[in-house]
Amino acid sequence: MRRGIAATAVVASLALAATACGGSDDDGGKASGPTTITWWDTSNATNESPTYQALVKDFEKANKDVKVKYVNVPFDQAQNKFDTAAGASGAPDVLRAEVGWTPAFAKKSYLLPLDGTEALAEQGKFQPNLIKQAQFEGKTYGVPLVTDTLALVYNKALFKKAGITKAPTTWDELKSAAAKVKDKTGVDGYWGSEKGYYLEPFLLGEGTDTVDATAKKITLGSAAGQKATKTWLSTFDGKGLHKADVTADSYAHRQDAFVNGKVAMTVEGPWEVTNFYKGSAFKDKANLGIATVPAGSSGKAGAPTGGHNLSVYAGSDKAHQEAALKFVKWMTSAATQSKIAQKNATLPTREDAYTAQVTADPGLAGFQKVLPAAHPRPELPEYSSLWGPLDTELPKAAGGKESIDKVIDTVETQYTKLLPDGFTK
């Protein structure tokens, strides 16, 4: 999941409509020529899209019977655009879907079940928790293409100056380390995020989440949820702890401070690895430290799992679906994922794609080691929408405008409107 990074591609709505084939291309599976499928790719247009466009050409060279219309769709627009297109039977044959979209689209019958198909022929090669989060009501609707999670990233040189020999494993240890960094180096030790996705490690570290999908219970305001949010709030106030930035550019400010050595620690995902290396603090890539997020009082560390699946449109005809399945299998193969990782600094979803060339990058190797702490998302189509209210309300508490208790109450009230009937506080 690419959080905080605005997609830079601009794709006109008319162009999208024209390229959303949904099995309606003129060449649609005719024996006289290749089948043309359309792929909506939601990757970053500047940093990642060129890699995928090159891979499409490689696929076409290896598969003369399939042509791929590549369309880069801005990530922040893609979910609504696909929802509209699929409802009108004009969606692309293949979609790069954020993991939270997969169950939501599956619930609407927009996606083709992939169990037993060519696309999932190597299902056992993928990390089980990633397959699980591509499922809805017992069926699999996506093949994991890239994954991500959150980790504690830190500046090894600043740690050394402060006399810190290992990454903190609890939030109390993190606060202590932040104070030491401030005392010894003069810069802040930790700068946290005020956004909802970054609250997840605190919740999971207390053994809870925003909701319990099985029990149909909103758990943000539970005892464990309240402890998590108060611990989160405490990381903005104290020696070496950077105060909350509630401006519109907070993400950019935090990243700039970290990559240029103005703060020693933050919590971030692998999508920033290439940007870390562009900063003055990490010209020597070996200076980047990556560790599992600190644990809560449960004693266990937990981080959210993000990433993207490749899904096939259920509204296409047989010829287009077969071509789409072949494309998905090729794109999610170990060889292709390894190429993507090396070019885009993203994490593969299968162990055999972590080649020596991939793990030679200390950032990718470091994030691979923290993946065991990543929790799959609940099988709840509405789950991803729950971060929206948090993004709006949490900054009010972080900035001292409202109490955390009031923020929790407001968010839970909003959750009752977003979640299906039957969910209770």
Cβ atoms of 371 and 147 within 8 Å: the answer is: yes
Say yes or no to pLDDT of 13 above 80: no
**Would you mind telling me the total number of residues written for the chain in this entry?**
425
Q: How far is CA 70 from CA 63, 73, 116, 189, 412, in A?
A: 16, 10, 26, 44, 40
Distant-in-sequence, close-in-space partners of 30: CB < 8 Å, separation ≥ 6 = none
pLDDT band at 30 (very low <50, low <70, confident <90, very high): very low
Say yes or no to pLDDT of 96 above 50: yes
Distant-in-sequence, close-in-space partners of 17: CB < 8 Å, separation ≥ 6 = 85, 90
Cβ atoms of 371 and 307 within 8 Å: the answer is: no
pLDDT in tens, 149-196: 999 999 999 999 999 999 999 999 999 999 999 999 999 999 999 999
Same fold, 13-148+305-375 and 149-303+379-418: yes
Say yes or no to pLDDT of 264 above 70: yes
Say yes or no to pLDDT of 280 above 60: yes
Say yes or no to pLDDT of 21 above 90: no
- What is the DSSP secondary-structure string of 256-324? HHHHTTSEEEEEE-GGGHHHHHHSGGGSSGGGEEEEPPPB-TTS---EEEEEEEEEEBTTS-HHHHHHH
pLDDT at 7: 35
The crossing angle, in degrees rounded to 10, of helices 334-344 and 49-62 is 150
Query: What CA–CA distance (Å, rounded) separates 266 from 178?
Result: 11
pLDDT in tens, 224-253: 999 999 999 999 999 999 999 999 999 999
Look at the domain 13-148+305-375 and name its fold: D-Maltodextrin-Binding Protein; domain 2 (3.40.190)
Query: What CA–CA distance (Å, rounded) separates 264 from 125?
Result: 37
pLDDT band at 11 (very low <50, low <70, confident <90, very high): very low
**Alpha-helical segments (H) within 9-92:** 13-19, 49-62, 75-87
Mean pLDDT of 51-65: 98
Mean pLDDT of 67-95: 95
Domain boundaries, the chain: 13-148+305-375, 149-303+379-418
Cβ atoms of 394 and 225 within 8 Å: the answer is: no
Cβ atoms of 118 and 329 within 8 Å: the answer is: yes
- 174: which 2 tokens? 């993190």
Query: What CA–CA distance (Å, rounded) separates 99 from 121?
Result: 20
Please, what is the average pLDDT of the chain? 92
Q: How far is CA 296 from CA 4, 230, 268, 301, in A?
A: 25, 12, 18, 7
Mean pLDDT of 91-107: 95
Cβ atoms of 70 and 56 within 8 Å: the answer is: yes
Say yes or no to pLDDT of 84 above 90: yes
Say yes or no to pLDDT of 325 above 70: yes
- Name the more confident of 38 and 27: 38
Q: Which residues pair with 153 in a beta bridge?
A: 266, 290
Query: What CA–CA distance (Å, rounded) separates 235 from 192?
Result: 7
pLDDT in tens, 195-215: 999 999 999 999 999 999 999
- 310: which 2 tokens? 């490749």
pLDDT at 17: 41
pLDDT at 16: 41
Q: β-pairing, 303-312 with 143-149?
A: antiparallel
pLDDT band at 33 (very low <50, low <70, confident <90, very high): confident
Query: What CA–CA distance (Å, rounded) separates 178 from 239?
Result: 7
Say yes or no to pLDDT of 18 above 50: no
pLDDT at 31: 52
pLDDT band at 2 (very low <50, low <70, confident <90, very high): very low
pLDDT band at 8 (very low <50, low <70, confident <90, very high): very low
pLDDT at 12: 35
pLDDT in tens, 386-408: 999 999 999 999 999 999 999 99
Task: Classify domain 149-303+379-418 by CATH architecture.
Answer: 3-Layer(aba) Sandwich (3.40)
Say yes or no to pLDDT of 315 above 60: yes
pLDDT at 215: 96
Tell me the three state secondary structure of residue 237. Answer: coil
Question: Going along 113-246, which residue ranges are E strands?
Answer: 135-136, 139-140, 143-149, 151-155, 188-190, 211-212, 217-218
pLDDT at 331: 98
Mean pLDDT of 75-97: 94
Task: Please give the span between the terminal C-alpha atoms of the chain, in angstroms, as a whole number.
Answer: 28
This model's pTM is above 0.85: yes
